[in-house]
């Protein structure tokens, strides 16, 4: 099978036009597994890793742009990402192993659209937008509109993810990502929670954004729980009071990693652990 390595986006569009059924990949950490299993068949492959336009991280007015082709390791060590979105850094730090983080890319994690994808809950609470491009145009979608169902996205034929845009962080925001897996490393999430909370100067929650991974067919958000946090300081007692709302919001399944009942319990515990957690308090952005 032929593998093409375009050096620019123009080369990519030209090559894809000539071989319309060619399949694209970036780090190959998901794609190559499926190819070897025979789950993917293609007349040719196009690797995106040599396209510099996909590997940039830059500040653009009031947003941070992260190219789809930047590796997880490249993102989590980047000073701009560390300042703008520590929750994404926390999420990528627990994705796979050092090898997977060096090879795997953000674009690949988003396009895979797994409910266990570690970058996704963080991107949801950051209100990230996905920048998509084909040979003719660029379009932008909120991450929650881009992800449709397990493994399904809004990507059109011969369209790629160019990157994500993340709005400037608001003052007095705290964020946290926690993942529970079967092991501490190299484990797919049994359940995970990303949280981004904005406080007023009295320590009362003004805006709450929460997103759970692995407890539904896609990332689960719960506006009822978010609203119930607003107007109160963050306390274990209050979180325990609103915890039953989490049970209603999530719809996990039984699988080889965990039962649905266990996943529900973890989803609630992850919420309750937001209060009084030193890590969470340490991510305060004044």
Ligand X SMILES: Cc1cc2nc3c(=O)[nH]c(=O)nc-3n(C[C@H](O)[C@H](O)[C@H](O)COP(=O)(O)OP(=O)(O)OC[C@H]3O[C@@H](n4cnc5c(N)ncnc54)[C@H](O)[C@@H]3O)c2cc1C
User: Pattern of binders to ligand X over 132-171, x per CB under 6 A?
Assistant: -----------------------x----xx----------
Stretch in the footprint of ligand X (CB under 6 A) among 24-32, 134-142, 204-212, 249-257: 24-32
- The Cα–Cα gap between 183 and 36 comes to 26
List of residues 6+ apart from 50 with CB closer than 8 A: 5, 6, 7
Considering the complex, what minimum distance in angstroms separates the CB of residue 246 from ligand X? 22
Query: In the numeric block, which tokens belong to residue 240?
Result: 């325990």
Q: Which residues of 128-144 are buried (b: 16+ CB within 10 A; e: fewer)?
A: bbbbbbbeeeeeeeebb
Stretch in the footprint of ligand X (CB under 6 A) among 105-113, 230-238, 243-251, 267-275: 105-113
Considering the complex, what minimum distance in angstroms separates the CB of residue 224 from ligand X? 27
Are 71 and 101 in contact by the 8 Å Cβ rule? The answer is yes
Tokens 């570690």 belong to residue:
118
Of all residues in the shown chain, the one whose CB is closest to ligand X is 108
Query: In the numeric block, which tokens belong to residue 269?
Result: 């515990």
Strand order across the 173-180 sheet: 173-180, 191-199, 205-213
- Candidate list 9, 12, 24, 122; residue touching ligand X; CB under 6 A: 24
Query: In the numeric block, which tokens belong to residue 40?
Result: 């993917």
- Candidate list 6, 86, 115, 117; residue touching ligand X; CB under 6 A: 117
- Candidate list 9, 12, 30, 218; residue touching ligand X; CB under 6 A: 30
- The Cα–Cα gap between 64 and 84 comes to 8
Stretch in the footprint of ligand X (CB under 6 A) among 7-15, 55-63, 107-115, 243-251: 107-115
| Polymer length of the chain | 286
Stretch in the footprint of ligand X (CB under 6 A) among 18-26, 139-147, 165-173, 248-256: 18-26
User: Pattern of binders to ligand X over 63-102, x per CB under 6 A?
Assistant: -----x--------------------------xx---x--
- The Cα–Cα gap between 156 and 169 comes to 31
Stretch in the footprint of ligand X (CB under 6 A) among 7-15, 27-35, 74-82, 252-260: 27-35
SS3 call for 126: coil
112: nearest Cα among 79, 76, 72, 75: 72
Considering the complex, what minimum distance in angstroms separates the CB of residue 205 from ligand X? 28
Binding site for ligand X (CB under 6 A): 23-31, 33, 48, 68, 95-96, 100, 103-105, 107-109, 111-112, 117-118, 155, 160-161, 186, 188
């Amino acid at each position: 099978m032929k593998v093409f390595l375009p050096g620019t986006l123009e080369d990519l569009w030209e090559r894809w036009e000539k071989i319309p059924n060619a399949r694209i990949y970036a780090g190959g950490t998901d794609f190559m597994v499926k190819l070897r299993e025979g789950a993917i068949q293609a007349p040719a492959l196009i690797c995106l890793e040599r396209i510099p336009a996909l590997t940039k991280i830059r500040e653009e007015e009031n947003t941070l742009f992260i190219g789809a082709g930047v590796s997880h390791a490249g993102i989590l060590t980047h000073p701009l990402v560390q300042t703008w979105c520590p929750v994404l850094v926390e999420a990528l730090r627990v994705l796979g192993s050092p090898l997977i983080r060096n090879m795997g890319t953000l674009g690949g994690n988003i396009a895979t659209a797994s409910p266990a994808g570690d970058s996704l809950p963080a991107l949801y609470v950051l209100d990230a937008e996905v920048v998509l491009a084909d040979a003719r145009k660029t379009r932008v979608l909120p991450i929650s509109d881009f992800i449709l169902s397990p493994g399904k996205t809004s990507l059109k034929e011969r369209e790629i993810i160019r990157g994500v845009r993340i709005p400037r962080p608001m003052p007095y925001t705290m964020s946290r990502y926690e993942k529970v897996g079967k092991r501490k490393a190299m484990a797919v999430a049994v359940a995970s929670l990303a949280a981004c909370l904005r406080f007023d100067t009295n320590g009362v929650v003004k805006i709450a954004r929460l997103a759970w991974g692995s407890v539904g067919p896609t990332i689960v958000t719960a506006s009822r729980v978010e609203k119930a946090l607003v107007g109160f300081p963050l306390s274990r007692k209050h979180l325990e009071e609103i915890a039953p709302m989490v049970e209603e919001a999530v719809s996990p399944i039984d699988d080889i990693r965990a039962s649905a009942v266990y996943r529900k319990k973890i989803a609630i515990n992850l919420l309750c652990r937001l209060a009084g957690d030193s890590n969470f308090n340490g991510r305060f952005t004044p």
